[in-house]
Amino acid sequence: MKSKKDKLTRRNFLKGAAAGTATLALPVGTSDASVWEAFFQKHFRELNKDEVADVIKRLEEEYKEKYKKDVKVKTTDAQPGVLFSYGLDLSRCIGCRRCVYACARENNQSRDPQIHWISVLRFEQGEKFVSNLEEADKYYYPEKVPEDGHFYMPIACQQCENPPCVKVCPTKATWKEPDGIVVVDYNWCIGCRFCMAACPYGARRFNWAAPQIAKEEVNPDTHYLGNRPRYKGVVEKCTFCIQRTRGNPGRYPACVEVCPVGARKFGNLLDPESEIRYCLEHKRVFRLKEELNTAPKFYYFFAT
Amino acid sequence: MFQLAKNFFVFLSQVTKGNKYYFAWIGFLSLLVLLGLITYIKQLDNGLIVTNMRDQVSWGFYISNFTYLVGVAAAAVLLVVPAYLYNFKPIKEIVLFGELLAVSAITMCILFVVIDMGRIDRLWHVMPFIGNMNFPSSLLAWDIIVLNGYLAINLTISFYALYKMANSKEYNLQIIKPLILLSIPWAVSIHTVTAFLYNGLASRPFWNASILAPRFLTSAFCAGPAIMIIIFQIIRKVSKIEIENKAIFKIAELVAYAIGINLFLLAAEFFKEFYSGSVHLAPMEYLYFGLHHHNNLVPWMWTAMIFNITAFLIFLRPQTRENLFTLNIGCVLVMTGIYIEKGMGLVIPGFIPGTLGEIYEYGPSFNEKMITIGVWAFGALIYTLLLKCAIPVYTGELRFYKPEGSVGNQ
Amino acid sequence: MGVQKAICLLIGLGLIFSLRASPVNAADKDKIPKYSVPPAPFSEGIFPCSDCHEDMEPDPTRRELEEHTDIQEMFDHASDQRWCLDCHNANDRDKLRLVNGALISFEESYYLCGQCHGTIFRDWKAGVHGKRTGEWNGKKIYRLCVHCHNPHSPKFKPLTPLPPPVRPTEIENRKLNDDQIPRNPIGDIQ
């Protein structure tokens, strides 16, 4: 396997070199103005209204050209009085991975190289748990789930109130929105991956190559800070389906809706009537790696 | 102004003069740089997928080399302190070569960070004032500032000194001394900040230990000077510059202390991790004994351990330290030992096991190795060219003006 | 005083409401059917039950049935303690019967389940037990217990998992045509 890869490497050497010169770092010599516009695009939070409109127009054109369909890029703002939070019932999860792939479908995650925002870990009963994830298995594939003597724990971005990834980003390309969602400006990220080293939950994903999705599978309902198609060399992560959840009314995230056992709960932490508040007040909840003081807004609980 | 430009050109033109060995060396390095560049273009075209880094181990060989080289650059301070603070003459005469080494090492550091970036076209985002630098929150922002600052300081000091020398003037220590003094804490800072870059990540228990920054410094003071000891011997062999053994042995003595402290700190780390035996032991276990049958780094780490201990014994005994043959063996051993320990041995266990317990055994891909070799060759090339310009000035062969009556200070 | 009158009126209204909703107590009534529930998941052609049962004489003794053998075979829901007519109303088969004798429609079957599974019922009402779709701050679509649990054999049935992620060692550098790009295995699962 390895030697084959190496051989390929050498064979493609010059070919790659020739192609590479064309797509070199700086868009020198291109007549397409949009390339320059993209190059000089400011940080998303520094754009004024008109500039945002221009950027969205350019992106929508770019996506239409690439995916041959109309892709809508929204920039819906956070609603006041909303702090999103998530609950996951470990006593229910059966490890079927419906959430993993529903998330990929909704959020335009690259199919090749494969990117998943959700990792489902399988534990054997009696294994050390929570403090030590070392014995967990992410690649289980039995005929049927749940399996006897096992339990499952899906992990995605924990949307920390005190996010270490945001703290370390050298360019402020990732930040926490007023509704608590940690987002990435895919047009500002330089791909240094410091945030990936800082994240205690393995929640961030890097586009090691240009993301590839079949045109027919592209979800055209997108948000600038969420599921719009990404680029090679930038980091991405779960945004609580910002394109769905931001709205009045706003929809549930895709993973919540697909979960066949109803293990996933979502709502406004500031609303005492919300499902998530009910969980916090009536269930045995815990947050992952509490000792790191990241204060996740993602609660695991045991309903029974 | 015109004169200045002309002088600079005269200075630069030195690189075109040399014997066949010199051109062979330059040609060899250029070839490696070219190969690295071609591979890098391929990386730009395909993305970092041509490396073996993945989400599980998101930093690899590039950042390992970066970390090691920051240490090499910081080690220049080990010459500056005896030279300027204690006025130790033999070292004062060669401190310039240490500073030029720092310049080359920092250049390589910057290159290693740049080639590790996913979006080189957005490099300007991280530049102060132009971009949107997350200062003071991000340690990477700090690192950009201290590394570039250190580069600027060392460039200024060495070029000022060379310029004055080339003009047959004693350089004015009043002007340069504050900068030299500043370079001492600054050298410490580049390594401390780089250590803090890892140290501040609570998600990675292997790095999140207070011993990290002290170990960074001591290991830097092992490997950096060892490299210099070898380079000085080469310089005095290929040029007319005389470097006293006294200077070399003094540096060797300092290295002995540094290795001793480094080994002690390693022992402290070993004790803490293995005696307390918490879940945070896993990365250390992975390094030295293997974890769940994953043990790629184990032979490397024990090699590093044996090398460092042997080097310590060589440097510790005055008989072996002051014998150039054994000293050189010691230098090579400690350079390699620290390269393993502070490169892959530091970066990889931060990711193994991963934050979700996954073990992905990383090793650099062919492309990563090619690009890395290219960067090293580029660094060596820069250092060679810098020396090529500096040495004739140093020996008095190159003067912008004909000295009246007197010869240069050498 | 106006306020007192208003309170009396409210209590009165509340009483009327609670009387109308005889099967359950007033507090529950406030909490429940404000969210929409899809129709009960009957197998094809089985409802209304009265189509067949109208002309039959109800026989309240527990016995082996000649009809509904599939249900009898699967029946695994505290089957020692009860049988069909503990939940299905003998005289009007289109209704379910609570232990207090109250009749409810199949669309309200959660009351029946809630008699035994009180804590789960409480969680369900709060939106915490069971699957929810729709809007987190608007119209939520609830599901009946029987949408996920077969009432005659309520244990959740195992599912086939979707494939595991690609291992980091197996990720390859390849540029694919549109038709070569792997499709999402989730297909149409909603």
Distance from CA of A213 to the nearest CA of C (A): 6
Q: Which of A95, A98, A259 sits opposite C186 (nearest CB)?
A: A98
Are A170 and B141 an interchain contact pair (Cβ–Cβ within 8 Å)?
Answer: yes
Report the gap between the CA of C172 and the closest CA in chain B (Å). Answer: 8
Q: For chain B, report the end-to-end CA distance as a whole number of angstroms.
A: 28
pLDDT for the residue numbered B241: 87
- What Cα–Cα distance (Å) separates residue B339 from each residue in B61, B147, B278, B301? 11, 20, 28, 10
> What value does the mean pLDDT take over residues A62-75?
96
Q: In chain C, positions 47-76, which contact chain B (CB-CB < 8 Å)?
A: none
Average pLDDT over residues A214-239: 97
- B360 touching C, CB under 8 A? yes
Nearest chain A alpha carbon to B37: A17
Task: Please check whether the domain covering B59-360 is classified as CATH 1.20.1630.10.
Answer: yes
Residue A260: closest CA among C143, B206, B311, B305: C143
Q: pLDDT (tens digit, 9 = 90+) per residue, B167-192?
A: 877 766 777 888 888 999 999 999 99
Instruction: Quote the CA–CA distance of B383 and B393 in Å, as a whole number.
Output: 15
Q: At what angle do helices B139-166 and B95-116 cross, to 10 degrees?
A: 140
A39/B277 Cα distance (integer angstroms): 50
Average pLDDT over residues A254-277: 96
- At A16, the pLDDT band (50, 70, 90 cuts) reads very low
Domain boundaries, chain B: 59-360
Token couple for C190: 């909603």
Helix B212-238 to helix B324-342 angle (10° resolution) is 140
- Between B43 and B74, the higher pLDDT residue: B43
Cα gap B327→B254, rounded to integer Å? 13
Amino acid letter for position A159: Q
Neighbors of chain A by Cβ distance (3+ pairs < 8 Å): B, C
- Residue C21: pLDDT band (50, 70, 90) is very low
Read off the pLDDT of residues A161-212 as tens digits, 9 standing for 90 and up.
Answer: 999 999 999 999 999 999 999 999 999 999 999 999 999 999 999 999 999 9
Give the number of A-B residue pairs with CB atoms closer than 8 Å: 186
Characterize the bridge pairing of strands A221-223 and A235-236: unpaired
Testing the interface with A: which of B51, B113, B122, B360 to mutate, by most A Cβ within 10 A? B122
Higher pLDDT, C36 or B56: B56
Q: Which residues of B touch C171 (CB under 8 A)?
A: 49, 54
- Identify all chain C residues contacting A249, using CB atoms and an 8 Å cutoff: 135-139
**C173 CA to chain B: closest CA distance, Å?**
6
- CB-based contact B26:B381 (threshold 8 Å): yes
Query: Are A257 and C190 inside 8 Å of each other by CB?
Result: yes
Which residue ranges form the domains of chain A, and what is each CATH number? 72-304 (3.30.70.20)
Residues from chain C that touch B46, judged by Cβ atoms under 8 A, are 173
The share of chain B scoring above pLDDT 70, in percent, equals 97
Q: What is the mean pLDDT of chain C?
A: 84
CB contact (8 A) between residue A112 and residue C182:
yes
pLDDT, tens digit, 9 for 90 and up, residues B13-52: 888 888 899 999 999 999 999 999 999 999 999 999 999 9
Close Cβ partners of B218 (under 8 Å, ≥ 6 residues apart): B258, B261, B262, B265
Q: Do B132 and A292 touch (CB under 8 A)?
A: no
Question: Tens digit of pLDDT for each residue in A74-84?
Answer: 999 999 999 99
Q: What is the mean pLDDT of chain A?
A: 90
Q: Is A203 helix (H, G, I), strand (E, B) or coil?
A: coil
pLDDT category at A158 given cuts 50, 70, 90 is very high
* Nearest one of B341, B201, B276 to A193, comparing CA atoms: B201
pLDDT digits (tens, 9 = 90+) for B224-268: 999 999 999 999 998 888 888 998 999 999 999 999 999 999 999
Backbone dihedral region for residue A69 (phi beyond 0: left; psi -120 to 50: alpha; all else: beta):
beta
- For residue A301, the SS3 value is strand
Contact A262 C148 (CB under 8 A): yes
Give the global pTM: 0.89
Residue B120 Cα distances to A260, B35, B145, angstroms: 43, 19, 18
Q: Where are the domains of chain C?
A: 75-158
Give pLDDT, residue C37. Answer: 79
Contact C27, C125 (CB under 8 A): no
The average confidence (pLDDT) of chain B is 91
Nearest CA in chain A to C155: A261
